[in-house]
Amino acid sequence: MAIKLNYKNLLDYLIDAAICQKDDLDYLKVDVNSKTFHWIIELIQNQGKLFVKQLPHCSTFSNGIKICKEWHFYNFFQSHKDLDYVSSLTPEVLHFDDSNSILIYKCPNNYITLKSYYENQETFPNAIAELVGTTLAKLHSQTISSQECYTFLTELEEHKLNYQLLYPDYLSDYLFSRTEPESLKKSQAVSWRFLGIFQQTDAVREVVTELVLNHRHFCLTHNNIHFDKILIPKHWEKLVTETQDSDKSLIKLIDWEACSWGDPACDLGKAILGYFLLWIDSMIVHPAIEIKQSIQLATIPLEVVRPSIVAMTKAYISTYPKILEDYPDFLKRVIQFAGLGLIYQLLTEFQLQPEMALSHQYLYFFIATQLLCKPEKFLSI
């Protein structure tokens, strides 16, 4: 890799790539999100936002392969008019640099992430959750019968229907088999205790193994739905009523590098996990406080986000009712994928923020265990 983007060389790179003019530099607003490896740049005169993405080239990430895959994905859907709805979900790609694993795309300036909306508003309107649920249902139902989409994705995966695990590949061995001491050297030492806890919990290991190895191959799935990857218009309330019957998506989804021909329960499970995370991350975590007490002390109780979980799930089923006929245990799997997503979240934290992961591991694992092994408790919500 010849170029590693940083705050000093980022703007020069944009000029060299003919994305920006030198005269624009004084007016650009730059923000970096280290968790998603994005540089977010607000353009002048409300011309939109640039997302400059470069995954780190290190042993714990699939570096440029994911960036290249994402670029091929955008190209495919922009050129297939029979898949207009999916195309309307994706951002506008401006630049791809294969040698440096850099991808630059653009979104309208009036869009914000769902995460920032919830952080700023501190309210959880059911209509937002319904919009996300409806969007995912349309994505899945409109690609399930697309032979072109199926062929493209399987060819992209080198003719294998692989499921995209969202943590480093070597960690999959730890989840599905007993860990050999020598192989632990590949992981950060701080995660060893969690991996040991996971391996000793047979019920959790069995569910996780079954979820990943026996997932359904139904349709196009994003596989990495998080609130910071869902973009909504700032004035969504007005636009929802205006575009209710539109064949275009009001929502934008970014970071498609993990997409596959996969399990729709994964996408919906990851989406509702966002609400569980708002609840979990509002808890007070301390070694002197028991987990059940932490749950009781949550500043965002489960009862506050529960209506959004229900609204999103009902909107999905209402938009795509046939899923329950084709996939009878769909709702159970949705809850279990939310639990699996919580384990993914923790493993990612061990790579990026190990100290935070250490403080979260017991609470996250406790909640993940409930979602994975006792999904029926949550189906009534």
Question: Looking up tokens 């790609």, which residue turns up?
Answer: 93
Residue 46, Ramachandran bin (φ over 0: left; ψ between -120 and 50: alpha; else beta):
left
Q: Is the pTM higher than 0.75?
A: yes
Bridge partner residues of 30 (DSSP): 41
Token duo for residue 270: 């990851």
State whether CATH 2.30.30 applies to domain 10-107. no
- For the chain, what are the domain ranges? 10-107, 111-379
Q: Are strands 29-33 and 252-253 parallel, antiparallel or unpaired?
A: unpaired
Please give the chain's pLDDT, 381 residues, in tens.
Answer: 578 888 788 888 988 998 888 877 666 777 766 556 678 888 776 778 889 998 765 444 455 577 888 999 998 988 887 788 888 999 989 999 988 889 999 988 889 999 999 988 888 999 999 999 999 999 999 999 899 999 998 887 664 445 544 443 444 555 555 455 555 555 566 666 777 777 778 888 888 888 887 888 899 999 989 999 999 998 888 787 766 667 788 999 999 988 989 999 999 999 999 999 999 999 988 877 888 888 888 999 999 999 999 999 999 999 999 999 999 999 999 999 999 999 888 888 887 777 887 788 888 899 999 999 999 888 765
Six-digit token string for 64: 């440029």
Radius of gyration of the chain from its Cα atoms, rounded to whole angstroms: 21
The separation between CA 143 and the C-alpha centre of its own chain, rounded to angstroms, equals 19
Domain 10-107 and domain 111-379 have a common topology = no
Which CATH fold topology does 111-379 show?
Answer: Aminoglycoside 3'-phosphotransferase; Chain: A, domain 2 (3.90.1200)
Number of H helices, E strands in the chain: 17, 10
Nearest Cα neighbor of 282 from 122, 125, 112 is 122
Q: What is the dihedral of CA 322, 325, 328, 333, to 10 degrees?
A: -10
Cα dihedral across residues 349, 355, 360, 364: positive or negative = positive
